[in-house]
C-alpha cells in the first residue's frame, strides 16, 4: 500500500508513521491502516481535494438532449430514459452513443431486445458508425454489470432495462423487483468505473409512471420522451435531475434519418389568415411561440368541440366567455382547434391567442400572421397578466411578432422591433382585431 498509515481523526494518509498528523495536526492519531481499528481502513478525503475535473462527458451533439441534461451526460451518473413503445427511445439512446463516440469516447451498447443486425441497421440509418462503439446482445444483468466493470466504457446504454433480468432473483423481466435490482446493479457498476450510464425503460399508456417512480431514487436523472407517433414532434423533459434544473424541455423531430432539433416557428409578416393567432406557451424554463388554429363551421346535429394540444376545458370556458361577454356565438357551430406543428399549449397564458383564433374564424376576419396575443382570460372576459410575461414578450419579438397584444395589467415594456397593444378585456382585443383601420388586419 502506498500510504499505509491513516489518521483516525481526519482520514489523511501518510507514508511513514508520525507522532502528529500532517492533515489535522492532532497527536497520536496515525495507525497502520491494515490494523482496521477505529474505521481506519475507510479512507476519508477532504471535500475540497476531491477531483471534479472530467466529471462532465461533454455534449452529445444533440443540442436539445444536452439542454435537458444541463450540458450533457456526466461520468459515473445514471440516466433513465423512458417513454411509450415506438416513441424513439432506442433511436435517441443510440444517437447519444454515436454522438459521444464520434467525439472520441468509447461506447458500449447492451442490446437486450434487439438482434445485433437490427441495431446495426438502425445505426447505419442514423449516419456514420464510429469505430469506438461496441455492441453486445445480452439480457443477463450480472453479465452486463461485469462487462461494464471490465471494459470501462465512457458511455454505456442498456436498451432496455425492462428486458434485463437476474436469474437469481424471482420475478419476470420488467417486474418492479427486477427493474429496481437492475437499476441498482448497473448504476453501481457505472459509478465504480466512471461510465455515464443510460438506461432505457418502457411505460405503457395506463401503467404510466409506476415503473419510473419506483426507479426514480435509484438513478441520478430521469428523462421522459413523449410524442404522438403519428407526427414527428418529440418532447424531452427532465423529470428528475440531480445535477441541474428539472422542467427543462427539449424539442425534437423524428425524421427518416433520426431525431433532429425542431425548428421553432417564425412568424411571417405580410400574411393574413382567419382563424390563426400566435401566442407564447411557457413550460417550465422554456417559452415557445405557437400558432393556434381554429375552424368554426355550421354543425349538422349536435355541435362538436375538438381540441388538439390545447385543453378542451379551456376551450369550453373560452367559448362561453366569447358568447356571454363578447357576442361571438359558436353554440350552433362545430369548433376545431389545434396548434400548428402539434406543440402542446396547455398553460392558461395561451387563452388570449386561443380565444382570438376562434373569434377570427367565427367572424371571418383575417389576422396578420405577425400578430401575437398574450394573456389569461377570466370569466368576466377580462384579460389577466400571465407568469413570465416579459420573457414571453421577448420570445415573441425574437420570433418575428410585430404587434403583441398584452393585458393592460401586465407590467412590461415593448421589446425592440415590436409594438405592444394593451387591452383590458377580450372584447377590446376583438375590437382591435376587427376595427376598420386596425393595424392588426391585413390592408
Ligand atoms: P425506436 O427508437 O425503435 O422506438 P422505441 O425504442 O421507443 O420503441 O423508434 C420508433 C420509430 O421511429 C420506429 O417506428 C421507426 C421510427 N424511426 C424513424 O422515423 N426514423 C429513424 O431514423 C429511426 C431510426 C426510426
Ligand atoms: Mg426500443
Q: CB 218: neighbour CB atoms within 10 A? A: 20
Which of 82, 86, 259 to mutate for ligand 1's pocket (most ligand atoms within 8 Å of CB)? 86
Identify the CA nearest to 166 among candidates 151, 145, 193, 188: 145
The cell numbers describing 130, all together, are: 464510429
Give the residue whose CA is nearest to atom 1 of ligand 1.
88
**What pLDDT is stored for residue 20 in this prediction?**
80
| DSSP-derived secondary structure letter, 55 | -
Burial of 151 (0-12, 13-18, 19+ CB in 10 A): middle
Please give the CATH architecture assigned to the domain spanning 276-434. Answer: 2-Layer Sandwich (3.30)
Which residues contact residue 8 at a Cβ distance below 8 angstroms, ignoring those fewer than 6 apart?
Answer: 29, 30, 31, 37, 38, 39, 40
In this predicted model, which residue has the larger pLDDT, 273 or 310? 310
Q: Which atom of ligand 1 is nearest to the CA of 126?
A: 22
* pLDDT at position 333 over 90: yes
93 alpha carbon to ligand 1 midpoint, in Å? 11
Ligand nearest to the CA of 122: 1
According to DSSP, residue 81 is labeled E
Ligand nearest to the CA of residue 127, numbered in listed order: 1
pLDDT exceeds 80 at position 427: yes
- Look at residue 205 and tell me whether its pLDDT is greater than 80: no
For ligand 1, pick from 87, 88, 95, 121 the residue to mutate: most ligand atoms within 8 Å of CB: 88
> Ligand 2 centroid vs 201 CA: distance in angstroms?
9
DSSP, collapsed to helix, strand or coil, labels residue 219 as coil
Q: Indicate if the pLDDT at residue 83 is higher than 60.
A: yes
Q: Could you give phi then psi for residue 255, rounded to 5 degrees?
A: -110, -175
Distance CA 282, CA 387 (A): 8
> Mean pLDDT, to the nearest integer, of 320-342?
94
CB-based contacts of 156, cutoff 8 Å, min separation 6: 107, 108, 109, 110, 148, 190, 195, 196, 197, 198
Taking the centre of ligand 1 as the mean of its atom positions, its distance from the CA of residue 247, in whole angstroms, is: 25
CA 342 → CA 33, 234, 436, distances in Å? 63, 10, 33
Q: Is the pLDDT of residue 105 over 50?
A: yes
pLDDT, position 253: 94
Residue to substitute in 83, 228, 254, 257 for testing ligand 1 pocket (most ligand atoms within 8 angstroms of CB): 254
* Sign of the four-CA dihedral 80, 83, 89, 92: negative
200 alpha carbon – ligand 2 mean position (Å): 8
Distance 256 CA to ligand 2 centre (A): 16
Indicate if the pLDDT at residue 235 is higher than 70. yes
Q: What is the mean pLDDT of residues 41-69?
A: 82
From the list 364, 376, 387, the residue with the least C-alpha distance to 423 is: 376
- CATH match for 53-261 among 3.40.930.10, 3.20.20.70, 3.40.50.300, 3.40.50.2000: 3.40.50.300
How many angstroms separate the most distant Cα atoms in the chain? 96
Report which ligand 1 atom has the smallest distance to the Cα of 85.
Answer: 8
| β-strand partners of 278 | 291, 372
Query: What are 209-219's pLDDT values in tens digits?
Result: 456 778 889 99
Q: Which three cell numbers stand for residue 196?
A: 455515464
**Ligand 1 centre from 252 Cα, in Å?**
13
Residue by residue, DSSP assigns 112-180 as SSS-HHHHHHHHHHHS---TTEEEEE--BHHHHHHHHHHH--SEEEEE-GGG-B-TTS-S-TTSHHHHH
From the CA of 258, give the closest atom in ligand 1: 22
Domain with CATH 3.40.50.300 in the chain: 53-261
> Within the chain, which residue ranges are assigned CATH 3.30.230.10?
276-434
Distance 94 CA to ligand 2 centre (A): 10
- Which ligand has the shortest distance to the CA of 111? 2
Residues belonging to the chain: 443
Nearest ligand 1 atom to alpha carbon 202: 7
The residue to mutate among 89, 91, 121, having the most atoms of ligand 1 within 8 angstroms of its beta carbon, is: 91
pLDDT tens digit sequence for 162-175: 999 998 888 888 88
Spatial CA neighbour of 49 closest among 7, 1, 20, 11: 11
Q: How far apart are CA 114 and CA 160, in angstroms?
A: 9
The model's pTM: 0.78
Answer for the pair 262, 286: CB distance below 8 angstroms, yes or no: no
For residue 13, name the pLDDT band (cuts at 50, 70, 90).
confident
pLDDT at residue 186, as a whole number: 97
- The alpha carbon of 87 and the centre of ligand 2 are apart by a number of angstroms equal to 8
Inter-residue contact 169 to 149 (CB < 8 Å) = no
As a whole number of angstroms, the distance between CA 193 and CA 188 comes to: 9
The reported pLDDT for the residue numbered 343 is 85
- The torsion angles phi and psi of 351, rounded to 5 degrees, stand at -45, -50
Alpha-carbon gap, residue 338 to 230, rounded angstroms: 15
Phi, psi (5° rounding) for residue 427? -60, -45
The minimum-distance atom of ligand 1 relative to the CA of 92 is: 2
Exposed e or buried b for every residue in 379-414, given b needs 16+ CB within 10 A? eebbbbbbebbeebbbbbbbbbbbbbbbbeebebee
Nearest atom (ligand 1) to Cα of 94: 2
Neighbours of 213 (CB within 10 A): 12
Distance in Å, CA 85 to ligand 2 centroid: 7
Q: The C-alpha cell of 242 is what?
A: 440531480
Q: Give the span between the Cα atoms of 419 and 404, in whole angstroms.
A: 6
Please give the residue that has the higher pLDDT: either 53 or 369: 369
Q: Give the residue from 309, 311, 329 showing the smallest Cα distance to 321.
A: 329
Rounded to the nearest integer, the mean pLDDT of the chain is 89
**Which residues line the pocket of ligand 1, CB cutoff 6 A?**
83, 85-91, 122, 125-126, 254, 256-258
Burial class (CB in 10 A: 0-12, 13-18, 19+), 184: middle
Ligand 1 atom closest to the CA of 225, numbered from 1: 7
Amino acid at each position: 500500500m502506498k500510504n499505509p498509515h491513516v489518521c483516525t481523526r481526519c482520514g489523511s494518509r501518510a507514508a511513514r508513521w508520525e507522532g502528529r498528523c500532517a492533515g489535522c495536526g492532532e497527536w497520536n492519531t496515525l495507525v497502520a491502516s491494515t490494523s482496521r481499528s477505529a474505521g481506519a481502513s475507510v479512507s476519508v478525503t477532504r471535500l475540497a481535494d476531491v477531483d471534479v475535473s472530467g466529471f462532465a462527458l461533454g455534449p452529445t451533439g444533440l443540442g436539445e438532449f444536452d439542454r435537458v441534461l444541463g450540458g450533457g451526460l456526466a461520468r459515473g451518473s445514471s440516466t433513465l430514459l423512458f417513454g411509450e413503445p415506438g416513441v424513439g427511445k432506442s433511436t435517441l439512446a443510440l444517437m447519444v452513443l454515436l454522438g459521444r463516440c464520434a467525439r472520441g469516447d468509447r461506447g458500449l451498447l447492451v442490446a437486450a431486445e434487439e438482434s445485433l443486425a437490427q441495431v446495426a441497421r438502425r445505426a447505419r440509418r442514423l449516419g456514420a458508425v464510429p469505430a469506438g462503439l461496441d455492441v453486445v446482445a445480452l439480457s443477463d444483468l450480472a453479465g452486463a454489470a461485469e462487462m461494464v466493470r471490465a471494459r470501462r466504457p465512457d458511455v454505456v446504454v442498456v436498451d432496455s432495462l425492462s428486458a434485463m433480468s437476474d436469474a437469481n432473483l424471482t420475478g419476470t423481466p420488467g417486474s418492479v423487483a427486477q427493474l429496481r435490482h437492475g437499476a441498482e446493479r448497473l448504476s453501481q457498476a457505472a459509478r465504480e468505473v466512471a461510465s455515464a450510464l443510460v438506461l432505457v425503460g418502457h411505460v405503457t399508456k395506463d401503467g404510466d409512471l409506476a415503473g419510473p417512480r419506483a426507479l426514480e431514487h435509484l438513478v441520478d436523472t430521469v428523462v421522459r420522451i413523449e410524442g404522438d407517433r403519428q407526427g414527428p414532434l418529440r418532447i424531452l423533459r427532465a423529470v428528475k435531475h440531480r445535477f441541474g434544473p428539472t422542467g427543462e424541455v427539449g424539442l425534437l423531430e423524428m425524421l427518416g434519418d433520426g431525431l433532429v432539433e425542431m425548428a421553432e416557428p417564425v412568424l411571417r409578416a405580410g400574411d393574413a389568415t382567419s382563424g390563426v393567432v400566435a401566442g407564447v406557451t411557457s413550460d417550465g424554463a422554456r417559452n415557445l411561440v405557437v400558432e393556434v388554429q381554429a375552424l368554426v363551421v355550421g354543425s349538422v346535429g349536435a355541435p362538436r368541440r375538438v381540441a388538439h394540444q390545447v385543453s378542451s376545458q379551456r376551450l369550453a370556458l373560452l367559448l362561453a366567455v366569447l358568447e356571454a361577454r363578447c357576442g361571438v356565438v359558436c353554440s350552433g357551430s362545430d369548433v376545431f382547434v389545434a396548434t400548428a406543428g402539434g406543440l402542446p399549449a396547455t398553460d392558461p397564458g395561451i387563452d388570449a391567442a386561443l380565444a382570438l383564433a376562434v373569434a377570427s374564424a367565427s367572424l371571418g376576419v383575417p389576422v396578420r400572421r405577425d400578430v401575437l396575443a398574450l394573456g389569461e382570460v377570466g370569466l368576466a372576459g377580462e384579460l389577466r397578466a400571465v407568469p413570465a410575461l416579459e420573457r414571453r414578450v421577448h420570445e415573441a419579438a425574437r420570433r418575428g411578432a410585430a404587434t403583441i397584444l398584452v393585458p393592460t395589467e401586465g407590467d412590461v415594456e415593448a421589446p425592440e422591433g415590436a409594438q405592444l397593444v394593451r387591452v383590458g378585456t377580450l372584447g377590446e382585443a376583438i375590437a382591435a382585431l376587427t376595427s376598420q383601420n386596425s393595424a392588426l388586419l391585413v390592408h
